[in-house]
Amino acid sequence: MTRHILQANLPCLTALAVAFGALWVLKRGSGARWDLKRLRELHRCQDGGVQSLAFVLTLPIFIVILMFIVQVSQLMIAITMVHYSAFASARSAVVWLPAQVSELEPENRLHIDSHREIDGQFYLLPSAESVKYRHIRQAAILGLAPIAPSRDLGIQSGNVSADSLRSIAAAQNMYRSLVPSSQTNQRINPRIANKIGYADQNTIVVVSWRDANSGRGRETLVGPTYNPRNHPNPAVPPWEPGEVGWQDAITVHVAHDFALIPGPGRLLAKHLVPSSGIPDEVYQRITTRRGQYSEPLYSVRITASATLPNEGMKSVMPYQQE
């Protein structure tokens, strides 16, 4: 996972290097230098009209580059967190899949009506009503809440899933117990609710898995497996398409619409067409949402995936997890 994070952040590191180089060129070109004595006398200085003009000309460029550095830094943090959330969601899948949560979803089986098989790969659809899928998705949402905006975007509680509403209440109670002084701060609870609510509305989680023996011609007679295909022994339970076998690779795909800072986001989302006629490719990846929230929101989709093997075996005496 660390290698994938470094590879995903490589373009951002290049952009940061270019931005810092632009700041250095701007500093050298403007002739600015650090002088604390002159800085303390700036408020009563009546001289230096030429220097003031140079300051006015270079300050907007300096602020634009500085905000670009801040945005790229936050984007690198978001890429890291999306990869982490995919790993946390895969860990949740490994834990919850071997658990029996209901008669509909026994051990190592997800909702039987929520799957699609494509070339031996099984996919759990994002809209599937599955108890295990809800736990897997909620792990990703909680992992992405730290990078979600905390400002009020007008998200209604009716548009947030019931699992996220329970997570909001649990996170608020935990924060109050860890930081007792926050009980007098009326802004903490709404900010926590805004973060988890935004992550819930802007995160897609898809679960897929493949038979560990797929493609080897060993699915029927050679294990280890408890879900064989076309086994000649009639005493062996029939093959179930929605069942994840022992050591089957479980992959969790996470896609999150990361909210950009309003200023840089508006600038990056602007349609730029150079003289060559080829449109800019940056703004095409940025989604501008107007009317969906209380203020215009600019977001970019970040994707990541994590794969872990299923180590859970069917127990001799099934135990239903509450």
Domain identity same for 67 and 8: yes
Identify the domain boundary among 168, 201, 234: 201
- Yes or no: say if 235 and 278 are a contact pair by the CB < 8 Å rule: no
Residue 29 has pLDDT above 50, yes or no: yes
pTM of the predicted structure, to 2 decimals: 0.79
In a domain, 133, yes or no: no
Residue 127 has pLDDT above 50, yes or no: yes
Domain identity same for 161 and 295: no
Residues recorded for the chain: 322
- Whose structure tokens read 């050298």? 28
Domain identity same for 166 and 187: yes
Domain identity same for 264 and 288: yes
pLDDT band, residue 167 (cuts 50/70/90): very high
Residue 19 one-letter amino acid: A
DSSP 291: S
In a domain, 318, yes or no: no
Q: Which domain holds residue 259?
A: 2-41+48-128+203-309
In a domain, 292, yes or no: yes
In a domain, 140, yes or no: no
Tokens coding 108: 């190592």
Domain identity same for 300 and 167: no
List, for residues 41-76, the tens digit of each pLDDT value: 766 766 655 556 667 778 888 888 888 888 889 989
| Number of structural domains in the chain | 2
Higher confidence at residue 123 or residue 177? 177
List, for residues 211-267, the tens digit of each pLDDT value: 666 554 444 444 445 556 666 666 666 666 667 777 788 889 999 999 888 877 666
Q: How many CB atoms lie within 10 A of CB 86?
A: 28
- C-alpha separations of 208 from 110, 123, 244 in Å: 11, 4, 10
Residue 304: enclosing H or E segment and its boundaries?
strand 297-309
